[in-house]
Amino acid sequence: MRTRFCALLTVISAAMFCGCGGDDSSESQHLVIFHAGSLSVPLREVSAEFMKANPHIAVRAEAAGSRDCARKISDLGKQCDVMASADYTVVENLLMPEHADFNIRLATNEMAIAYTENSKHADKITSGNWTDILLADGVVFGRADPNRDPCGYRSVITIQLAEKKLNRIGLAAEMLNKEGQQIRPKETDLLSLLEAGEIDYLFIYRSVSEQHKLKTLLLSNEVNLKDPALADLYKTATVKITGKKPGEFITKTGQPMVYSVTIPKNAPNRKAAEAYVAFLLSDKGKAIMEANGQPSPRPAITDGFDNLPESIKKFCVKNE
């Protein structure tokens, strides 16, 4: 009996030793992704396909506002393997060069307004009267926090651009100061309030509204931040938000919407991160993004191109 027990103990000890550390690619690995809430649906699908091809890697995703994601890395010292932002300038402003040395422009999107058939005046709202509908008595709308999420400051910029388009001085201030509006850390936090009828309308990305099968009011290109040809118009709208340090502020200028992805310098599982980003930028990954309403540039414009891993470079071009 003693001999059998000792032999069993030896086997268990050997198994525990073999399960720790090492470079064997067959060992189970965890890949942690911090990402914008608006990327939840496409990245869930990308991750499922990636894990099928790499069964030894388990992907764990954490959604938050893009600026919150970046601050987890820069301010709180949290580690992740991949960071995907709804605005490429978040990585540029909050992570580079201390925490990341490249920034790959991943996808595009546009601002829209989501609502349901039970929203007040749902049968009347159009791309021409939405400002009046949202300002109507009893109507409650939601938007994300500009200091925590790009959709938040893009909502403010969209409202400012609507004021310019309509030549209606004071419209933006009236909308942004309206009583009863709901503000949350990220726009996806407001989806449950919309579906429950607590709010009537929500400033959100078109892709997210359509992914959740909501009624979607498309806005004109002059205000939706979609059209690169209107970049000069978009940059006439600005919003002040918190900067890198407490008490510091920066000004965000309107521009065509572009998402991005990077691998932080302190990524614990860098090889798996490189494989994931390469898959995301591949034809299969981009097809998933596009099917979810987030078209991807081909090839992907990249800041810090010379710092890219070789496995990723083939999908990218240098930002000139």
pTM exceeds 0.75 for this model: yes
All structural domains of the chain: 29-108+258-318 (3.40.190.10), 111-253 (3.40.190.10)
CA pair distance 92, 41, nearest whole angstrom: 24
Cβ atoms 120, 138 nearer than 8 A: yes
The 3-class secondary structure across the chain, one letter per residue, is CHHHHHHHHHHHHHHHHHCCCCCCCCCCEEEEEEEEHHHHHHHHHHHHHHHHHCCCEEEEEEEECHHHHHHHHHCCCCCCCEEEECCHHHHHHHCCCCCCCCEEEEEECCEEEEECCCCCCCCCCCCCCHHHHHHCCCCCEEEECCCCCHHHHHHHHHHHHHHHHHCCCCHHHHHHCCCCCEEECCHHHHHHHHHCCCCCEEEEEHHHHHHCCCEEEECCHHHHCCCHHHHHHHCCCEEEEECCCCCCEEEEECCCCEEEEECCCCCCCHHHHHHHHHHHHCHHHHHHHHHCCCCCCCCEEEECHHHCCHHHHCCEEECC
| Sequence-separated contacts (24+) of 312-316 with Cβ below 8 Å | 312/104, 312/274, 312/277, 312/278, 312/281, 315/278, 315/281, 315/282, 316/104, 316/281
8-30 per-position pLDDT tens digit: 333 333 333 333 333 344 467 89
Instruction: Give mean pLDDT, residues 185-193.
Output: 91
130-180 per-position pLDDT tens digit: 999 999 999 999 999 999 999 999 999 999 999 999 999 999 999 999 998
Residue 2's pLDDT band, with cuts at 50, 70 and 90, is: very low
What was the pLDDT predicted at 280? 97
Which of 230, 292, 297 has the alpha carbon at shortest distance from 261?
A: 297
CA pair distance 186, 146, nearest whole angstrom: 9
46-71 per-position pLDDT tens digit: 999 999 999 999 999 999 999 999 99
Instruction: Give mean pLDDT, residues 29-52.
Output: 96
What was the pLDDT predicted at 23? 39
Q: Is the preceding omega at residue 299 within 30 degrees of 0, hence cis?
A: yes
What was the pLDDT predicted at 8? 39
pLDDT top residue among 129 and 24 = 129
194-253 per-position pLDDT tens digit: 999 999 999 999 999 999 999 999 999 999 999 999 999 999 999 999 887 788 899 999
- Number of CB atoms found within 10 A of residue 151's CB: 31
276 has a pLDDT exceeding 50:
yes
Cβ atoms 84, 260 nearer than 8 A: yes
Residue 188's pLDDT band, with cuts at 50, 70 and 90, is: confident
99 has a pLDDT exceeding 70:
yes
Reading the block at residue 269, the tokens are 């599982």
92 has a pLDDT exceeding 80:
yes
What was the pLDDT predicted at 27? 62
294 has a pLDDT exceeding 90:
yes
What was the pLDDT predicted at 4? 42
Return the percentage of the chain with pLDDT > 90, whole number: 86
Average pLDDT in the chain: 91
Reading the block at residue 135, the tokens are 């300002």
